[in-house]
């Protein structure tokens, strides 16, 4: 009987080991892409710059991005835009607008951005609450036609305080819509209370962009309309297009920007091209193809000699150990945005923390945590170990069944 129990224990242990190895392999491979981080000079907070090539591999809301150390453990981070601004006087409160549509299915909160600035972050002030809600953010220039900006943004629970209110920042791709609508997914639930929304102007004015590489475009002029097809090398996040228009000297045309996904065409922006402006188109799209439709009326088509695409600068802030190596992971379509305790300690992060970048993006097809520097690939050995473990498990199971049969036979004889 003791021998039989030992066999069972060994079988259970090997089963757990086998399942653990398989789950570990599955978990590591769920993030399809990675990028090694530059080595931190010393231990402390760092601002991590996310380049367009890496953001292209992540989900639209970047909820699947993770920082992992050399052991494969995830390291907490917050988005750089979530850091509180030190100068409270620079905070501008937006006017609240009543503009609920019949199609809205939850609580709505609409504000007007009169600053004219392109925004990629909105600070909202709420009455203290400990419930879990998600919101969708939309933009409009006329309060009638609304365009999606960001979906499924998680509202944080209130930080413990005695003020009865708390602030949260909503991060989204840069947009220049005059009106912003927050639609809360709270159907058949008690609503939460919004008090105000606004921006820190000093932060908004420093909004910067990184060029998206290697774009190509073709054009076709039909009667009264010009169509420009833009092809990107990857599923890039695009927040700005600059059109280099050389003729005619004076023009004023309406333009619509479409995002192409498969056979589906979605309008992401409507704007005006004007000879008195810089002709930067600000919007949010994540795609490998864009389509521009310019209404020429009875005028000659515009002469466009070049088009440049840009992504708003994206940063993560994390506390890194100078003796460790780290890498970024992305590309898991099922991942949810992480909620780290670090967000409650944003006040401890200084403004002038150093910035580091990541190296080239690679396909994450290695089971073990990927190291920043190239080394030996132990993938084959791991699978050999898994096969050996499975073989031992099968052997011990057969042996256990044989022992059970023998004991049963002896019992029948008695």
How far apart are alpha carbons 197 and 358 in whole angstroms?
34
Quick one: pLDDT band at residue 357, thresholds 50, 70, 90?
very high
210-312, which class in CATH? mainly beta
Tokens of 333: 């379509």
What phi-psi label fits residue 401: left (phi over 0), alpha (psi between -120 and 50 degrees) or beta?
alpha
Q: Which residue has the higher pLDDT, 241 or 204?
A: 241
* Cβ contact 54:361 at 8 Å: yes
- Which of 83-92, 148-157, 359-368 shows the lowest mean pLDDT across its residues? 83-92
| Opening angle at CA 45, ends 44 and 50, nearest 5 | 135
Q: What is the pLDDT of residue 58?
A: 94
Highest mean pLDDT among 100-114, 262-276, 384-398: 262-276
DSSP 192: P
- Overall average pLDDT of the 257-265 stretch: 91
* Cβ contact 367:28 at 8 Å: yes
Q: What is the pLDDT of residue 298?
A: 93
Do 35-41+56-208+322-363 and 210-312 show the same overall fold?
yes
Report the predicted TM-score, pTM, of the whole model to 2 decimal places. 0.64
Q: What is the pLDDT of residue 384?
A: 67
35-41+56-208+322-363: CATH topology is: Jelly Rolls (2.60.120)
φ, ψ of residue 230 to 5 degrees: the values are -110, 130
Quick one: pLDDT band at residue 18, thresholds 50, 70, 90?
very low
Q: What residue segments make up the domains of the chain, in order of their start?
A: 2-22+377-413, 35-41+56-208+322-363, 210-312
Count Cβ neighbours within 10 Å for each residue of 180-205 and write b for 16 or more, e otherwise: bbbbbbbeeeeebebebbbbbbebbe
Q: What is the pLDDT of residue 158?
A: 62
Q: What is the pLDDT of residue 381?
A: 64
- Which of 40-54, 59-73, 172-186, 362-376 shows the lowest mean pLDDT across its residues? 362-376
Q: Which residues contact 247 (CB under 8 A, 6 or more apart)?
A: 302, 303
How far apart are alpha carbons 372 and 272 in whole angstroms?
46
How far apart are alpha carbons 328 and 48 in whole angstroms?
10
- Overall average pLDDT of the 131-136 stretch: 83
Q: What is the pLDDT of residue 159?
A: 58
Q: What is the pLDDT of residue 56?
A: 95
Highest mean pLDDT among 89-103, 195-209, 274-288: 274-288
């Amino acid at each position: 009987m003791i021998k039989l129990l030992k066999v069972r224990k060994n079988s259970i242990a090997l089963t757990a080991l086998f399942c653990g190895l398989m789950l570990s392999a599955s978990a590591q491979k769920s993030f399809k892409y990675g990028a090694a981080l530059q080595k931190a000079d010393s231990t402390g907070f760092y601002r991590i710059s996310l380049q367009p090539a890496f953001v292209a591999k992540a989900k639209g809301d970047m909820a699947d991005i993770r920082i992992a150390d050399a052991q494969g453990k995830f390291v907490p981070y917050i988005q750089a835009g979530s850091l509180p601004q030190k100068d409270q006087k620079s905070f501008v409160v937006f006017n609240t607008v009543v503009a609920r549509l019949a199609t809205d299915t939850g609580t709505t909160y609409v504000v007007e951005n009169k600053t004219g600035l392109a925004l990629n972050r909105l600070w909202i002030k709420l009455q203290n609450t400990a419930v879990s809600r998600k919101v969708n953010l939309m933009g409009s220039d006329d309060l009638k036609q609304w365009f999606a900006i960001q979906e499924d943004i998680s509202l944080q629970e209130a930080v413990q305080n005695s003020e009865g209110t708390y602030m949260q920042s909503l991060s989204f791709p840069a947009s220049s819509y005059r009106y912003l609508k927050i639609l809360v997914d709270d159907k058949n639930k008690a609503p939460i209370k919004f008090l105000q929304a606004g921006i820190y102007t000093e932060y908004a004015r420093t909004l910067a962009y990184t060029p998206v590489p290697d774009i190509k475009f073709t054009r076709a002029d039909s009667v009264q309309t010009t169509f420009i097809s833009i092809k990107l090398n990857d599923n890039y996040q695009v927040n700005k297009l600059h059109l280099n228009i050389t003729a005619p000297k004076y023009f004023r045309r309406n333009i619509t920007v479409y995002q192409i996904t498969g056979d589906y065409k979605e309008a992401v922006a409507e704007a005006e091209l004007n000879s008195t402006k810089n002709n930067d188109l600000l919007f949010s799209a994540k795609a490998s193809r864009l389509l521009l439709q310019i209404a020429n009326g009875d005028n000659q088509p515009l002469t466009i000699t070049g088009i440049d695409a840009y992504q708003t600068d994206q940063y993560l802030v994390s506390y890194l150990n100078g003796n460790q190596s780290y890498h970024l992971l992305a590309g898991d379509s099922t991942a949810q945005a992480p909620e780290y305790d670090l967000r409650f300690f944003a006040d401890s992060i200084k403004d002038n923390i150093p910035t580091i970048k990541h190296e080239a993006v690679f396909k994450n097809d290695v089971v073990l945590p990927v190291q920043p520097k190239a080394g030996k690939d132990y993938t084959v050995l791991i699978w050999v170990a898994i096969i050996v473990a499975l073989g031992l498990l099968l052997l011990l199971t057969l042996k256990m069944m044989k022992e059970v049969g023998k004991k049963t036979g002896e019992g029948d004889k008695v």
